[in-house]
Structure 1
Amino acid sequence: MRVGILSTGNIAGVMAETLNGMKEAELYGVASRSIEKAQAFAGKFGASKAYGSYEELAADEQVDLVYVATPMSEHYENVNMLLNYGRNVLCEKSFALNEKQAAEMFALAKKKKLLLTEAIWVRYMPMWKTLKEVLESGAIGKPMTVTANLCYLIDQVPRLMSLELGGGALLDVGVYVMNFASLIFGDEIEKITSTAVMTDTGVDAQNSITLTYPGGEMAVLNSSLRVLSDRKGIIYGTKGYVIVENINNFESITVYDENREVKAVYKQPKQITGYEYEVLACKAAIEDGMLECPEMPHKETLEIMRQMDAVRKQWGMRYPGEE
């Protein structure tokens, strides 16, 4: 599968490294708004082609899949352009700025009969399947409470402090804690309560979100651009609990019983970077003529976007152009 990368930032580099370690896919081309940047990236990672505009990559019919690694504020425009040129798309998280944009992107993909999926990598990883099996086995009884945090020292990254570029902790790292809760409890939420500390530039520096579900389950989620956290996800059940190390790329899953004694430990299998799983899922979906990946169906992306819209509404945080 020939993969093109849109943008030349850090995560684009991680995807290039991933593709170079795979036999099922290859780094075919890279596009930047600057031909010099594209050529430098292509030279560094061994891409066959370098494009001086995003449209040049979009127009290349040799490209089987395009990975979009631009800032979140650009996803709507970039993805729609790619779809109109007939390209299948794997778009980084957060998929869009809001649910409205996401719904329009998916509608166009369906109209064009093309694959479009969100690169929320934990959804595609084998460790998620392992966690699901642990919970379904009844090892901790009925899961009733989830806590999860994802915080990094990244408030010096200009795009994350910019409202115009879709900045803030929520869309960059909070999307992972929202997905973690969704993986455990689903998306039927009775109540969302949230608060945030805002920056002078109008984005959330850190936030806390509590989700309450119809069955009495609760998820308490935290994300931040200003502190370093342990990145743990903990699932508390009626007969024990599970600790997931690093909800951003599950490193281990440890199961504890009612006496707080370790019952089982599951370690992350060897990986290239972890990005390979979403690429393999896209390849399988394209070969099967599917318009979405079962690991992250369109409705899941829309649900998470809807939840994040509701959270931002409570804070009064709007991106430019939003009603």
Structure 2
Amino acid sequence: MASTCYQTQSLVNIAKQKKRFLMEAVWSRFSPIYLALEKAVQAGEFGEVKHVDVTFGTPIAMIEKNRKKELGGSSILTIGIYALQFAQFIFKDEPVKVTAVGNLNELGVDVTETVVLEYQGGRRAALNVDSTVKLWNKATVVGTKGRITLEDPFHFPEVMIRVDGTVEKIPLHTSNIPFKFMNSAGLVYQTLEVAKCIRKGLFESPRMPHKESLVLAKLEDTVRRQIGVHFDADDEKYP
């Protein structure tokens, strides 16, 4: 394990020792559309899932905190996590093989990645992440009976195109307060999950458990390593 995974494991250890609730803030997992997609997968609506395709690109590479290693700059850590978590949300298993290529800026920070995740049974996810340009920002799940697509922004969508072509739209929580980022009102669903778990006395969320965060951290480390990104923090030890 490299830094991201060590850090994640350290946080999990501390939370367990202190008996405190801990959850990675992957708000996508609590989207009403994600819940509808999960039901469609479980019901076999599009057969056996074989392929996942995700693109996520937004021009944020020149923002200072995204340019520098000492500030945690990294395309895969900043936005790529949403593509990785989507593949894991669908396939559940840890990939048997990870292949990644990408580009770095002049400071050695990754700004683009193309990642192929291979799973048991010939299942595969193809992920394109880019912090220099805006991409399609959709996610498609392909099965033996058809496909389902989450429209832009796939990481917290309002619209899903079902196998038969019908459009399902689930309006998000509304707010009179303006938001900087698209569909940020959806953060309320994550907040409700945390409150529910704490009321139940849980120390992790069943929808975003610690073991899932550890797998994602391992994948992030693997991608960074393959494209040649190394942080000073990768060499540090954590309790």
SS in structure 2 opposite 1:155? coil
SS in structure 1 opposite 2:44? coil
| Cα contact 2:3–2:233 (8 A) shared by 1 | no
SS in structure 2 opposite 1:274? helix
SS in structure 2 opposite 1:209? strand
- The residue number in structure 1 matching 2:220 is 308
- The residue number in structure 1 matching 2:195 is 283
Match for residue 64 of structure 2 among 142, 152, 158 = 158
Give the superposition deviation at 1:301.
0.6
| Cα contact 1:124–1:296 (8 A) shared by 2 | no
SS in structure 2 opposite 1:117? coil
CA distance, structure 2, for counterparts of residue 236 and residue 186 of structure 1: 15
- The residue number in structure 1 matching 2:89 is 183
Match for residue 236 of structure 1 among 109, 121, 142 = 142
Match for residue 34 of structure 2 among 128, 142, 145 = 128
- The residue number in structure 1 matching 2:130 is 224
Count of matched residue positions in the alignment of Structure 1 and Structure 2: 223
Q: TM-score, normalised by structure 2?
A: 0.89
* Residues 166 and 181 (structure 1), Cα distance of their counterparts in 2 relative to 1, 3 Å cut: same
Q: 5+ residue gaps in structure 2?
A: 175-184
SS in structure 1 opposite 2:148? strand
What are the superposed Cα offsets for residues 166-221 of structure 1, whole Å, 9 maximum, x if unpaired? 11210000000000100111132111000011100111111100001011100000
What are the superposed Cα offsets for residues 94-150 of structure 1, whole Å, 9 maximum, x if unpaired? xx9601001011110111111111111011222211001112222211110111011
CA distance, structure 1, for counterparts of residue 172 and residue 113 of structure 2: 33
> Which consecutive segments of 4 or more residues in structure 1 shift more than 6 A?
none
Give the superposition deviation at 1:251.
2.0
1:249 has 2:152 as partner: no
CA distance, structure 2, for counterparts of residue 233 and residue 156 of structure 1: 25
The one-letter code matched in structure 2 to 1:252 is V
Q: Mean Cα displacement is larger for which, 158-167 or 136-145?
A: 136-145
CA distance, structure 1, for counterparts of residue 43 and residue 24 of structure 2: 29
Give the superposition deviation at 1:256.
2.6
* Residues 155 and 188 (structure 1), Cα distance of their counterparts in 2 relative to 1, 3 Å cut: closer
Give the superposition deviation at 1:284.
0.9
Q: TM-score, normalised by structure 1?
A: 0.67
SS in structure 2 opposite 1:149? strand
- The residue number in structure 2 matching 1:266 is 168
CA distance, structure 2, for counterparts of residue 160 and residue 205 of structure 1: 9
CA distance, structure 2, for counterparts of residue 158 and residue 97 of structure 1: 22
Give the superposition deviation at 1:265.
2.4
Percent identical pairs in the alignment equals: 32
The one-letter code matched in structure 1 to 2:18 is K
Query: Per chain length, whose mean CA-contact separation is higher, i.e. which structure has more relative contact order (CA < 8 Å, sep 6+)?
Result: 2
Q: Aligned runs of 1:1-323 on 2, under 5 Å?
A: 98-245=4-151, 246-257=153-164, 262=165, 264-272=166-174, 273-323=185-235
- The residue number in structure 2 matching 1:36 is none
Larger Rg: 1 or 2?
A: 1
**Root mean square deviation, CA, Å:** 1.4
CA distance, structure 1, for counterparts of residue 170 and residue 129 of structure 2: 23
What are the superposed Cα offsets for residues 38-68 of structure 1, whole Å, 9 maximum, x if unpaired? xxxxxxxxxxxxxxxxxxxxxxxxxxxxxxx
What are the superposed Cα offsets for residues 272-296 of structure 1, whole Å, 9 maximum, x if unpaired? 3001111111111111111111121
* Residues 247 and 97 (structure 1), Cα distance of their counterparts in 2 relative to 1, 3 Å cut: farther
SS in structure 2 opposite 1:201? coil
CA distance, structure 1, for counterparts of residue 154 and residue 87 of structure 2: 10
Higher-strand-fraction structure? 1
